[in-house]
């Protein structure tokens, strides 16, 4: 879905900011479109950062950063530029990853994600770190997150399957995502 990349100046700032605004207002499709536009750039960003470390799966880092973007999306102030915010989140998580790998990486401060080319995912990667972390969640959170994130079930179907209210599923899902971010910080599966 490359539509989000088109803008007059070549910078995705305007298009992405609009999608984010819509997303924050509850437009799930716009939000999804935004994350899909960001992910290929993040992949390049992560690959660049990790090339000096090796051994970490680029896709794992992309997923960790996406999760952070998601959980911290309320900290973007809608009257401010979007790209500096996005870059700051990506950079913060990248430094975190490098620290966990025992390196203090040098990451340029300005102009990261918006100037990088897209990078497609590796065709078939090994079981992702996130999948392993999901298996470490507590009972209900694990069931709910597996159902929605791994099996691709909707909130509604998950609620019906588990005999929970949709509200309860939403709460468990959101808490599960927060917990996943915490598990990453604690060193992931490493």
The distance of closest approach from Cβ of residue 66 to other proteins in the complex, given in angstroms and rounded to an integer, is: 6
Are 69 and 37 in contact, with CB atoms under 8 Å apart?
no
From 12-20, 26-34, 100-108, 111-119, give the range in contact with other proteins by CB under 8 A. 26-34
Binding residue for other proteins (CB under 8 A) from 13, 149, 162, 189? Answer: 149
Contacts of 23 (CB under 8 A, 6+ apart): 30, 31, 34, 73
Closest CA to 141 of 168, 119, 121, 118: 168
Q: Does 70 bind other proteins (CB under 8 A)?
A: yes
| Neighbour tally for 119: CB within 10 Å | 18
Closest CA to 11 of 102, 96, 84, 95: 84
Binding residue for other proteins (CB under 8 A) from 4, 17, 20, 63? Answer: 63
Residues that bind other proteins (CB under 8 A): 23-24, 26, 28-29, 31-32, 35-36, 39, 59, 62-63, 66-68, 70-72, 74-75, 77, 80, 84-85, 87-89, 92, 109, 121, 128, 130-131, 134, 148-150, 152, 154-155, 170-171, 173-174, 177, 181, 185
């Amino acid at each position: 879905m490359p539509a989000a990349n088109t803008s007059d100046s070549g910078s995705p700032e305007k298009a992405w900011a609009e999608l984010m605004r819509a997303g924050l207002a509850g437009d799930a499709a716009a939000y999804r479109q935004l994350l899909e536009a960001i992910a290929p750039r993040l992949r390049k960003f992560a690959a660049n950062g990790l090339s000096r470390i090796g051994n970490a799966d680029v896709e794992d880092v992309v997923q960790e950063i996406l999760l952070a973007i998601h959980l911290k999306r309320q900290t973007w102030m809608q009257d401010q530029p979007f790209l500096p915010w996005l870059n700051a989140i990506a950079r913060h998580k990248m430094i975190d990853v490098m620290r966990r790998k025992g390196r203090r990486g040098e990451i340029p401060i300005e102009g990261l994600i918006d100037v990088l080319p897209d990078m497609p995912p590796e065709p078939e990667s090994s079981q992702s770190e996130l999948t392993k972390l999901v298996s470490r969640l507590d009972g209900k959170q694990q069931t709910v997150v597996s159902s929605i994130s791994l099996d691709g079930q909707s909130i509604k179907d998950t609620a019906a399957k588990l005999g929970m209210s949709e509200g309860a599923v939403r709460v468990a899902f959101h808490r599960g995502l927060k917990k996943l971010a915490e598990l990453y910080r604690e060193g992931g599966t490493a």
